[in-house]
Chains A and B, each alone.
Chain A
Amino acid sequence: MDYKRNHFIPTALIKYWIIEDVNGSGIYVYDIAKKINSFVIVTQKENSLSQ
């Protein structure tokens, strides 16, 4: 999963769900098609996501 470029998750909203985890700032996301549950790190500066 790579959301670095394409923001399927609206950037204006995502910041309100970000939490601090031992691995960094991020959110818990479930990809329905792939049935993958993951903690995704969010880069605050770019408002982008990477796994």
Chain B
Amino acid sequence: MRNNLYVPKINETRLISVEKWFSSQETQLSKFLNKLDLLKYEPISYDLKNFSLSVQALIGLEYRSRFLIYKIHEFLKNNPTILKQISYDINLSIDKLVLEKLIKKITDETHRIMPAQLIVNKTVSNEFILCDRPVIDLDDSKCYIVGRRKLINIQKSDERNSNIRFGSEDAKFVDIFNHQLALQARDWILSSNELLLNRYIELINSNEYKESLKKDRIEIVRAKHLTTEYEIID
């Protein structure tokens, strides 16, 4: 399963329901990003359902890293007491449990952040890299890298309704964010620029990166906004 994130399999059986779930997220995120600039002129209330799905797809980017799934799987395998505590069925496979918790966490986070405010920022000259964990934690919000020159800051809206704001263009933070992205990458990084990629490959092979690995830890967090469990039906 850990090597088949987009087409999840357990015991060589494709989990069609999960596959469709991931696929619908990809599709919605793709549509949303394609028309993002046009949304400046459209009130979200007209398309709230799709907006919620788009937010969910963005949030999903934080939790779908193959590295995270592998780490959680190994943690549960080595901690049977905790596995028993969080599993509603002792016969449930760890693979399936991890996927169910993944879906639950993404859904719970979406409920928590809605109504949401999205602030879209673009850069002019500098480019972002992308990595398997493309979300940067700030104090009260999270930044999602969604393009070579685009990021979306998501926070809970102070207003009653969800909304999108378009921030000013600012290239100063790109190097700082790229540095952070490389430090938190665990599986891959990519770029459209070979020289830029090489700069961050150097960072990944540095002591600073090795130190960042020591901060990796598993945290058990109780869902706050969902009242029911999700069960994957094979």
Interface of B, secondary structure class, is mixed
Q: Are B192 and A19 in contact (CB under 8 A)?
A: yes
A16-B147, A16-B148, A17-B148 are known contacts. Are A32 and B186 too (CB-CB below 8 A)? yes
Chain B contacts with A in 1-48, Cβ cutoff 8 A: 3-7, 26-27, 29-30, 33
Nearest CB of chain A from residue B203's CB, rounded to whole Å:
11
Beta-carbon nearest neighbor of A34 in chain B: B188
Contact of B204 among A9, A12, A16, A32 (CB under 8 A): A32
Residue B189 lies at the interface, judged by CB distance under 8 Å to chain A: yes
Known contacts being A12-B29, A30-B197, is A6 close to B188, with CB within 8 Å?
no
**Which of A6, A11, A27, A30 interacts with B192 by CB under 8 Å?**
A27
Given contacts A16-B146, A16-B147, A37-B201, contact A9 B189 (CB under 8 A): no
Could you say which of B29, B33, B191 contacts A28, with CB atoms under 8 Å apart? B191
- What is the total number of residues of chain A having a CB less than 8 Å from a CB of chain B? 23
* Neighbour of B188 across the interface among A5, A16, A32, A39, CB < 8 A: A32
Known: A7-B6, A8-B66. A17 touches B26 (CB 8 A): no
Q: Does B134 sit at the interface, judged by CB under 8 A?
A: yes
Interchain pairs with CB closer than 8 A, number: 89
If A6-B3, A7-B6, A30-B197 touch, whether A12 touches B26 (CB-CB below 8 Å) is: yes
B103 at the interface (CB under 8 A from A): no
Q: Nearest CB to that of A20 among chain B residues?
A: B192
Nearest CB in chain B: distance from A4 CB, A: 11
Decide yes or no whether B231 CB sits under 8 A from chain A: no
Residue-by-residue, is A1-25 near B (CB-CB < 8 Å gives 1, otherwise 0)? Answer: 0000111111111101111000000
Q: Name the residue on B nearest A1 (C-beta).
A: B188
How far apart are the CA atoms of A28 and B30 in the complex, in Å? 21
| Contact status B189-A32, CB under 8 Å | yes
Q: Which 9 A-B residue pairings sit nearest by Cβ, starting from the closest? A: A12-B29, A12-B30, A16-B147, A7-B6, A19-B192, A29-B190, A28-B197, A17-B192, A27-B190
B contact residues vs A (CB 8 Å cutoff): 3-7, 26-27, 29-30, 33, 57, 61, 64, 66, 130, 132, 134, 145-148, 150, 185-194, 197-198, 200-201, 204
